[in-house]
Chain A
Amino acid sequence: MIELIIIGLNHKTAPIEIREKLAFHESEMEKALLQAHSIHSLKENMILSTCNRVELYAIVREPEKAVQDLKLFLSQYHHLPLQEFEKNLYLLVGEEAVRHIFRVSSSLDSMVVGEPQILGQIKSAYQMATDLKTSGIILHRLLHRAFHVAKRVRTETKISNSSVSVSSVAVELAEKIFGTLEKRTVLLIGAGEMSELAARHLVSAGVEKILVTNRTYERARSFALQFNGEAIPFEEMGQGLKKADIVISATDASQYLILPDQVVKLMKERKQRPVFFIDIADPRDIAPEVGDLANVYLYNIDDLQKVANENMKDRQKEAQKAETIVNDEVAKFVQWYQSLEITPTVVALRKKFEEIRARELEKTFSLHPNLTEKERQSIEAMTTAIINKILHDPITRLKQKDEEVMSDFYIHTLQTLFQLPDQTGEELKEED
């Protein structure tokens, strides 16, 4: 019997310290793959290693032995005693393993559900396994189905359509106000972790220029340096406000830094060019009334978080739809997988009957040498018909797709009763 197994750990089962220790670096991936492939109980294998998960996918002959071998491999390869990480490992077999791969590739198992990077990572892991020929017919089919599922999920649900982090919501809003962010200028008031994160997002969305102002000018300067930006003395903040399209404020001032009257004046000077204020300070830096002015858009951290949460809810709803797609595809794959097992058994069974028939015919014909050609033909036809009729019912039964549980049992029974060779594995190896 051959079986698909997955052994691994991810962000849900293991802390980052353990994940780091078990990660396979890209440079040594080839070596690791080949080393794993040399384990005798493995027929096919591939390794997926990202910052959130390390997983070994394998097609194996004896699942129990293979699991032990793979655990040992992980431990030896990373020079880490098994006890240290065994409790973090999960083991998935057969249908559950198929479902897992489909869920991972469609980003249903990701830290942030719907983030699309994982698909690319699986694709390159698979590519490497194909290049090194550690994957075979089953993984090949499995991964191609996984890519197909991911595509279906992407096109049939809206799982990756909305921003679910505060920074990406800010970028999306800015784009709804300014269209493209190219040639836009951002002013950061106060240099902190949050403003840095938001600024990075905006830069990668195409913002051209970053201005930084801070109560201590030195800090503004070192901060500006990171973004190739420009530092402005705190007293000249007004200049920055005049130039900037997006203003991110994150100071620890205890009272409002920017008041409506100021902004009314500012907007006149700007000839009403729109401005987007993002207030991520606590307590707030910008008086809420500022947001009521024409062509001024003001979002504070709570507003952004609320939008992100709303989007997250939508995403979870879409994830439900995606699960249905996954289930659907798992069923299809399992069907194919079982037909793999059934076919060789049927072939072996027919072969055995055919051999018996041929032997017995030969005996009969040698006992009656004076049979005419026509008589011989009709005896041949009759024996073939008998075999076909006898085999018809059991084979039909075997191929019935809805009896997933039983078919394993039937195959086993047939193999035992008729002493058929267990050649599932051999046949597949030839197909590779």
Chain B
Amino acid sequence: MRDCHQTKPIFSNQEYNNMLNIYFIQLASLLYLLGTLSYLFYIVLLKDFLSRLAAMMVTFGFASHTLGILTRLLEAGYTPVTNLHESLSFFAWMIIGILLIANLKYKIKVLGAFLSSIALILMLFALTLPKEILPLHPVLRSFWHPFHVTFAFLGNSIFTLAFCCGVVYLIQEHQLKSKKMGALAKRLPSLKVLDDLNYQALKFGFPLLSLGIITGAVWAEYAWGRYWGWDPKETWSLITWFLYAAMLHQRLTVGWRGRKAAIMAIVGFLAVLFTFLGVNLLLPGLHTYSNWEP
């Protein structure tokens, strides 16, 4: 399937490296790196100006990243989420977006360090991959494509936040249960804030994931003439969806909060990661149009 769509790049290797969008992406990565470092220094030194500096770096990084995605959109003429490089970059962009939104209400600092380092890793990964702009695969040339990827990645980014909350929750809970109130416990947010954020993330993330799957199904009907075909990506999305649905249900009915919710957020995120990366890299199927060879 993949081979018959291998086409000659619109731009040759030499040209795409000089393209503006790559510069913006590189600048964004650098700023995310500086932001992450500032967050880490903040955690060690607890000087407020460092957390402000970090937020500033990440904000500038986000702006540069946005420009990168917009210029790529203009250069390519379609929503630039069609191969692994673009998807990773898009995912990172949304994670930082979520960081900035969460920062408005919760002044997250430790969580900021987590989110920005995840985004940074995704960016560095993205930068090592082929970045050519190819003529769009016919299947991707669809009205539904931008909606599908936006919903799916926005959901994923919010689940990334929930994952970070879960990890930090488990660390903080362990500190409190083992009756240590040391330097670590002082630096981490309260359990209440972490659990709240986790729940908020679930409330917003789940509908987005659902929308992502629905738009995907509608698009599949147009592209392949069936809504659902048990392609590995579809199967794993459904597994992920069930996990989050169970989480939400248990939370609302029997009060799965705190530790259980934290563990579930971590498990859910692992499913998200596998659906996104694992399936692409390990299980070939309809979603692997990217010309990236592992």
Residues on A facing B (Cβ under 8 Å): 161-162, 169, 172-173, 175-179, 268, 270-274, 291, 294-295, 297, 299, 303, 306-307, 310-311
Residues on B facing A (Cβ under 8 Å): 172, 176-177, 179-182, 185-186, 188-193, 196, 254-260
Task: Out of B182, B189, B259, B260, name the residue touching A310 (CB < 8 Å).
Answer: B182
Q: A271-B255, A272-B255, A295-B259 are in contact. Are A306 and B179 (CB under 8 A)?
A: yes
Evaluate contact between B190 and A177: CB separation under 8 angstroms: yes
Task: Out of B180, B188, B254, name the residue touching A271 (CB < 8 Å).
Answer: B254
Evaluate contact between B254 and A311: CB separation under 8 angstroms: no
- Chain B positions within 8 Å of A169 at CB level: 181
**A–B pairs, 15, beta carbons within 8 Å:** A162-B186, A172-B181, A173-B181, A177-B176, A177-B191, A177-B192, A179-B190, A179-B196, A272-B255, A273-B257, A274-B192, A291-B177, A294-B260, A295-B259, A307-B180
A307 to B179, CA, bound (A): 8
Evaluate contact between A297 and B176: CB separation under 8 angstroms: yes
Main secondary structure of the interface of B (DSSP, over half): helix
A270 to B257, CA, bound (A): 11
Evaluate contact between A299 and B191: CB separation under 8 angstroms: no
Evaluate contact between B193 and A294: CB separation under 8 angstroms: no
Evaluate contact between B176 and A175: CB separation under 8 angstroms: no
Q: How far is the CB of A343 from chain B (nearest CB, A)?
A: 40
Between B182, B188, B255, the greatest number of chain A beta carbons within 10 A of the residue's beta carbon is seen for B255
Evaluate contact between A297 and B177: CB separation under 8 angstroms: yes
- Chain A positions within 8 Å of B172 at CB level: 176
A270 to B189, CA, bound (A): 23
Task: Out of B176, B254, B256, name the residue touching A176 (CB < 8 Å).
Answer: B176
Between B181, B196, B258, the greatest number of chain A beta carbons within 10 A of the residue's beta carbon is seen for B181
Q: What is the total of A-B residue contacts with beta carbons within 8 Å?
A: 60
Q: A291-B177, A299-B179, A310-B182 are in contact. Are A179 and B193 (CB under 8 A)?
A: yes
Closest residue of chain B to A169, judged by CB?
Answer: B181
Evaluate contact between B182 and A294: CB separation under 8 angstroms: no
A299 to B179, CA, bound (A): 8
A295 to B191, CA, bound (A): 10
Closest residue of chain A to B176, judged by CB?
Answer: A297
- Chain A positions within 8 Å of B177 at CB level: 291, 297
A303 to B178, CA, bound (A): 10
Evaluate contact between A310 and B255: CB separation under 8 angstroms: no
Evaluate contact between B258 and A294: CB separation under 8 angstroms: yes
Q: How far is the CB of B155 from chain A (nearest CB, A)?
A: 26
Closest residue of chain A to B188, judged by CB?
Answer: A176
**16 other A-B residue contacts (CB within 8 Å) besides A179-B192, A272-B255:** A162-B186, A173-B176, A176-B181, A178-B190, A179-B196, A272-B254, A272-B256, A273-B257, A294-B258, A294-B259, A294-B260, A295-B257, A299-B179, A307-B180, A310-B182, A311-B181
Q: How far is the CB of B99 from chain A (nearest CB, A)?
A: 20
- Chain A positions within 8 Å of B257 at CB level: 272-274, 295
A297 to B182, CA, bound (A): 17
A272 to B251, CA, bound (A): 10
Q: How far is the CB of A266 from chain B (nearest CB, A)?
A: 12
- Chain A positions within 8 Å of B256 at CB level: 272
A161 to B182, CA, bound (A): 11
Evaluate contact between B179 and A273: CB separation under 8 angstroms: no
Between A173, A294, A310, the greatest number of chain B beta carbons within 10 A of the residue's beta carbon is seen for A294
A178 to B194, CA, bound (A): 10
Q: How far is the CB of B266 from chain A (nearest CB, A)?
A: 16
- Chain A positions within 8 Å of B188 at CB level: 176
A306 to B178, CA, bound (A): 12
Q: How far is the CB of A271 from chain B (nearest CB, A)?
A: 3
Q: A272-B256, A294-B260 are in contact. Are A303 and B179 (CB under 8 A)?
A: yes
Evaluate contact between A273 and B255: CB separation under 8 angstroms: yes
Evaluate contact between A176 and B255: CB separation under 8 angstroms: no
Between B172, B182, B188, the greatest number of chain A beta carbons within 10 A of the residue's beta carbon is seen for B182
- Chain A positions within 8 Å of B186 at CB level: 161-162
Evaluate contact between A176 and B182: CB separation under 8 angstroms: no
- Chain A positions within 8 Å of B192 at CB level: 177-179, 274
A429 to B154, CA, bound (A): 73
Q: How far is the CB of B56 from chain A (nearest CB, A)?
A: 22
A137 to B251, CA, bound (A): 68
- Chain B positions within 8 Å of A161 at CB level: 186
Evaluate contact between A176 and B259: CB separation under 8 angstroms: no
Q: How far is the CB of A157 from chain B (nearest CB, A)?
A: 12
Closest residue of chain A to B172, judged by CB?
Answer: A176
Q: A274-B191, A291-B177, A297-B177 are in contact. Are A176 and B258 (CB under 8 A)?
A: no
Closest residue of chain A to B175, judged by CB?
Answer: A176
A271 to B256, CA, bound (A): 8
Closest residue of chain B to A245, judged by CB?
Answer: B192
Q: How far is the CB of B176 from chain A (nearest CB, A)?
A: 6
